[in-house]
Amino acid sequence: MKTKSSVQAIRHTGRTGLHPGIWIAPLIILIILIILFSLRLLSDPDLGFHLNSGRWIISHQSIPQTDIATYTVPDHTYIDLHWLFQVMIYCLYLVIGYKGLSLLVCLLVCLLFFLIGRRMIAMGVSWPILIPLLLITLVIMEPRFLLRPELVTYLFITISLIILDGYYDTRKNKLYLLPVILLLWCNMQGLYMLGFSLSGAYFISLWIRDKRPDLRVFGWGLVSVLICLINPYGWRGFLFPFELLTRFSEGNIFHAYIKEFQPWYKLETWTLKEYCFLIYLILSSISILATIRQRKIHDLILWLLFCILALLAIRNIPLFLLISLPVTGRSLDELFRRYNQWFSGKIRKRISTISAGVVWLVMLAFIPRLITDNYYASNLSYDKTGIGLDRLEHPEGAANFLINHHLDGRIMNSLSYGGWLSWRLSRTVFIDARLEVIRESLYTEVVRSWDGGLGGLIEKYQPDMLVYDYARYFSWTPQLLSLPGWHPIYLDGQSVVFARKGYAEQISFPDTTRLFDLYNLRSAWKLSDKQTLLTREIPSAFTVWLWGFYKTNEWKVARLQNIASLFLQMQQYQLAERFFLETLQESCCSRFSCYFALADIYMQLRELSLARQCYLRILEVDPENEPARKSLAILMEKPLKNMKGMVKCLNDAEATVHFNKGNTKYKAGDINGALDEYTTAIDLNPGYSKAFNNRGYIRAVELQEYQAAICDFDTAITLDPGFADAYLGRGSSRYSLHDIAGALKDWEKAKSLGNHQAEELLRQHKR
């Protein structure tokens, strides 16, 4: 017997005059794409602490109440709402290993898209609408295809909606399954409270449609709420997710620095997924507004609620897609059918055939780029197609080094490394990514360490070693090199380990033989080889893009450049040169940034002809590059007697150019561009107090990132204690964070230095 919804779907397909067979080929390619997008190496940094927590729960036969993974905040409450998920994946790991966990992600994603497609078909969405929408959804959601508890949240939301749809449309009563779903949900992931909004929206919609409250939906919804009290923490666990909502507030430090908590439209760089989401949001908004009379109340309520969540934080975008996709598809389908009547049957069939062919070709183009990993590289992602553990993204090399050398001292680590190190080393670490446990105070200390505060952090926590991702925590390296007694003992393409004086001093560094063997480097570079490489033709951007269809992306290139950059920071110029040259060689000279670094190296090594060649290559690609032009002019005209002074002069001149560009871009309204220019100026001249002040001003006034702004103002004041504007900016930032006493103190100082704006602020706020 056919249900009402299936009959509507059949009738709808007949009215469109479209033959479903035309879309069979695109459907097959879509299924292949879903598998390829979800079949990837495990690279998520959260994987380590989830496995570690699962192991702890199994071995201790209890649920943690306080932090189990760090020595810094062992007294902090740990409400582990993920405990059931963690136990599940740890037990699966014991049976099927990392490869099995990788396949589990693929299985869950495929199931999710099957359920989404099933719901859309049940709502009468036709193939010409369904397949392109699922493709856009796939592109937008793929960064969240991770072995995280939120993946089961996506499934629970979709299953709940299918159950509620069935009851609303046909009175098919499977509402008794909702409490079962919520019982599992509240013990696997903290977003279970979203389940309440689903039942609530349908309850309101049914009340308006039927002119009376539906007691079944109300009753099972109430049971679903109450059953969430069945968790290891009772009321505390039930209310905890509501506390986590504070992380989305503008003034919160996690919001300021953790990308997934930020709004998507504030990202400095957009990739394909951001553009796809913008297109989807526009299509969804217009189609729903154009057909709003045909839309059900619960669809509108949920669309608006989850749209707001998506605009607040990147991590909420998949939730909005799950909620809005079927209603968007239905709305577009109705518009399509409305305007489709303008054309004859022959033209409609031709349009459908062409559309199917275009969609098929677009989807087909994804496949080779996914297989070669160039899709991920071009979208600024380190994900990789494959099965098993991504050993390049986890600090596996550093962990094995510590284990093999029996280095069991206290570790200070970067945020993303904490979970994996606690899992692999089976001991407590400095910090990990469980932000609800770590809380703002410790993370604020880490943020301050990026701007010169590492020494104070080390003095407070007394680590024996620092293990960190030096490409992301690049400011730690020069600070460590300036601190007495700290020395590196391990290096690979991602991780570095520094040890304190008197600890692991027997380990020689750098172990160049190991590094050269690890990356299969040539024995030596002759001068003629260098000159040949630096004059080789640089491939065009189109050529590099074209390579992505048949050349496997060499993640080795990024690792080589990381190592080269670290050696440059350590002023080991010959090793830095070696790795930069290898980077250019492996990338077919497409890594443009290497020429800037090599020019600096050759200035230090007094290899002037090679330095000139590097500047010429820069100008060949970017003829308007002012720093390169000035540097080349100086090289051509002046003898280089004082090399250090000349390099500093060049860097300071280049920093001034970027500072002025920042001022120009800010006046033109290009906020992100100005921020980048000031940051570049600071990188070139770390003593540039005005650049720190201007960057702090933008962070405070334009981005409301007050903690980050205060760090910039602190540095500006340290560099120039008489900088009145910096005191003014820091005071205003403190005022925004409700530190009234600190704000008044800073404004008083700015006033004493002659700042009239501070005088006016004091007059206003001392009343």
CATH match for 670-767 among 3.20.20.140, 1.25.40.10, 2.40.30.20, 2.40.30.30: 1.25.40.10
The pLDDT score that the predictor gives to residue 722 is 87
- Average pLDDT rounded to a whole number, residues 163-186: 94
- Helices marked H in 462-540: 476-482, 512-518, 527-534
CA-wise closest residue to 220 among 161, 250, 177, 255: 177
The pLDDT score that the predictor gives to residue 2 is 42
Would you tell me how many other CB atoms lie within 10 Å of the CB of residue 2? Answer: 9
The pLDDT score that the predictor gives to residue 645 is 52
One-letter amino acid at 87 equals V
Show Cβ contacts of residue 90 under 8 Å, excluding neighbours closer than 6 positions: 50, 51, 54, 55, 57, 58
**Class of domain 524-640 as given by CATH:** mainly alpha
Cα 579 from Cα 562, distance rounded (Å): 9
Edge-first strand listing for the sheet containing 495-499? 411-413, 465-469, 495-499, 487-491
Could you report the per-residue pLDDT of 248-282, keeping only the tens digit for each? Answer: 566 677 777 777 888 888 887 899 999 999 999 99
Cα 298 to the center of its chain, rounded Å: 32
Cα 520 from Cα 523, distance rounded (Å): 9
In this structure, are residues 751 and 758 in contact, taking their beta carbons and an 8 Å threshold?
yes
Would you tell me how many other CB atoms lie within 10 Å of the CB of residue 322? Answer: 24
Three-point CA angle 236, 239, 245, nearest 5°: 130
pTM of the model: 0.80
- Residue 41 tokens, joined: 């190496």
Cα 439 from Cα 409, distance rounded (Å): 25
Cα 767 from Cα 762, distance rounded (Å): 9
- 498 three-state secondary structure: strand
Judged against a pLDDT cut of 50, whether residue 8 lies above it is answered with: no
- Residue 246 tokens, joined: 């504070």
What is the DSSP-derived secondary structure letter of residue 159?
A: H
The per-residue b/e assignment along 204-242, b for 16 or more CB within 10 angstroms, e otherwise, is bbbeeeeeeebeebeebbeebbebbeebbbeeebbebbe
pLDDT band at 7; cut points 50, 70, 90: very low
The pLDDT score that the predictor gives to residue 251 is 67
Average pLDDT over the chain, rounded to an integer: 88
Highest-scoring range by mean pLDDT, 10-24, 193-207, 230-244:
193-207
Cα 264 from Cα 287, distance rounded (Å): 22
In this structure, are residues 728 and 757 in contact, taking their beta carbons and an 8 Å threshold?
yes
Cα 405 from Cα 87, distance rounded (Å): 31
* Three-state SS sequence of 544-569: HHHHCCCCCCCHHHHHHHHHHHHHHH
Three-point CA angle 571, 572, 573, nearest 5°: 90
Half-sphere exposure of 628 toward its Cβ, with a 13 Å CA cutoff?
21
Distances (CA, A) of 763 to 693, 744, 757, 766: 24, 10, 10, 6
Residue whose pair of structure tokens reads 């919609």 in the numeric block:
205
Cα 728 from Cα 759, distance rounded (Å): 10
The pLDDT score that the predictor gives to residue 250 is 65
Show Cβ contacts of residue 48 under 8 Å, excluding neighbours closer than 6 positions: 394, 418, 419, 420, 421, 422, 423, 424, 432
| Helices H / strands E in the chain, number of each | 36, 4
Half-sphere exposure of 199 toward its Cβ, with a 13 Å CA cutoff?
26
Judged against a pLDDT cut of 90, whether residue 242 lies above it is answered with: no
pLDDT band at 289; cut points 50, 70, 90: very high
The pLDDT score that the predictor gives to residue 702 is 86
One-letter amino acid at 578 equals R
Residues paired with residue 77 on neighbouring β-strands, in sequence order: 66
Q: Dihedral (C-alpha) 347, 351, 357, 362: value to the nearest 10 degrees? A: 170
Cα 573 to the center of its chain, rounded Å: 32
Question: What is the percent of the chain with per-residue pLDDT over 70, rounded to a whole number?
Answer: 93
Distances (CA, A) of 590 to 267, 544, 555, 559: 25, 8, 14, 15
In this structure, are residues 43 and 416 in contact, taking their beta carbons and an 8 Å threshold?
no
In this structure, are residues 214 and 206 in contact, taking their beta carbons and an 8 Å threshold?
yes
* Three-state SS sequence of 401-414: HHHHCCCCCCEEEC
One-letter amino acid at 291 equals T
Show Cβ contacts of residue 686 under 8 Å, excluding neighbours closer than 6 positions: none
Cα 443 from Cα 415, distance rounded (Å): 9
The pLDDT score that the predictor gives to residue 248 is 57
Could you report the per-residue pLDDT of 105-145, keeping only the tens digit for each? Answer: 999 999 999 999 999 999 989 999 999 999 999 999 999 99
One-letter amino acid at 213 equals P
The pLDDT score that the predictor gives to residue 604 is 86
Could you report the per-residue pLDDT of 577-599, keeping only the tens digit for each? Answer: 999 999 999 888 888 889 999 99
Cα 158 from Cα 104, distance rounded (Å): 18
Q: Which of 123-127, 360-364, 569-573, 624-628 has the lowest mean pLDDT?
A: 624-628
Cα 345 from Cα 327, distance rounded (Å): 27
- 554 three-state secondary structure: coil
Cα 333 from Cα 128, distance rounded (Å): 9
- Average pLDDT rounded to a whole number, residues 657-679: 85
One-letter amino acid at 31 equals I
Cα 596 from Cα 577, distance rounded (Å): 11
pLDDT band at 740; cut points 50, 70, 90: confident
Would you tell me how many other CB atoms lie within 10 Å of the CB of residue 537? Answer: 9
Cα 86 from Cα 188, distance rounded (Å): 8
- 468 three-state secondary structure: strand
CA-wise closest residue to 145 among 74, 260, 288, 40: 40
The pairing of strands 465-469 and 411-413 is parallel
Burial (CB count within 10 angstroms: exposed 0-12, middle 13-18, buried 19+), residue 387: middle
In this structure, are residues 464 and 411 in contact, taking their beta carbons and an 8 Å threshold?
yes
Could you report the per-residue pLDDT of 26-52, keeping only the tens digit for each? Answer: 999 999 999 999 999 999 999 999 999
Cα 157 from Cα 321, distance rounded (Å): 11
Show Cβ contacts of residue 442 under 8 Å, excluding neighbours closer than 6 positions: 72, 73, 431
CA-wise closest residue to 318 among 329, 307, 304: 307
Could you report the per-residue pLDDT of 463-496, keeping only the tens digit for each? Answer: 999 999 999 898 899 999 989 889 999 999 999 9
The pLDDT score that the predictor gives to residue 1 is 38
Judged against a pLDDT cut of 70, whether residue 638 lies above it is answered with: no
Would you tell me how many other CB atoms lie within 10 Å of the CB of residue 354? Answer: 10
Tell me if 524-640 shares its fold with 670-767. Answer: yes
Could you report the per-residue pLDDT of 69-94, keeping only the tens digit for each? Answer: 999 999 999 999 999 999 999 999 99
Cα 375 from Cα 12, distance rounded (Å): 37
Q: Where are the domains of the chain?
A: 29-277+297-327+345-378, 396-509, 524-640, 670-767
Judged against a pLDDT cut of 90, whether residue 705 lies above it is answered with: no
Judged against a pLDDT cut of 60, whether residue 16 lies above it is answered with: no
